[in-house]
Amino acid sequence: MKKAIHTEYVGQAVAFILRQTEYDEETAFKRLCELKDPVKVVSEYLGVKPRSESLAKSKNQMKYGEIRKFMDFGARQYNIQREQRQQQQQAREASEASEARES
């Protein structure tokens, strides 16, 4: 069962490589065995260089990033507190209305 699944995967991967490149079937299979990923095979064929994960930030970008985080945190806290005050106010009004009806 696993062998059939593996064979199907390899067949689909080779077909993908053949559609995206001008490799023949043998070359596509060899490159797939070397790189283990059909997307890497096509990227290598097209000459796409892998992107570096972390882009260096300038000091100014880091400063503004920290300011933005601080401001976002403050805004979230304010919104939470405002919603809590509104709920408390609504609860007070509801209790006052029920007390007024009882009187």
Categorize the per-residue pLDDT at 84 as very low, low, confident or very high, splitting at 50, 70 and 90.
very high
**Do residues 38 and 16 lie in contact, with contact meaning Cβ atoms separated by under 8 Å?**
yes
Q: Rounded to 5 degrees, what are φ and ψ at 28?
A: -60, -45
Give the residue carrying structure tokens 């065995």. Answer: 33
What integer best gives the mean pLDDT of the chain? 89
For the segment 61-77, what is each residue's pLDDT rounded down to a tens digit? Answer: 999 999 999 999 999 99
Q: What percent of the chain has pLDDT over 90?
A: 48
Structure tokens that stand for 98 in this block: 């029920």
Mean pLDDT of 33-47: 89
Half-sphere exposure of 98 (CA within 13 A, CB side): 5
Categorize the per-residue pLDDT at 103 as very low, low, confident or very high, splitting at 50, 70 and 90.
low
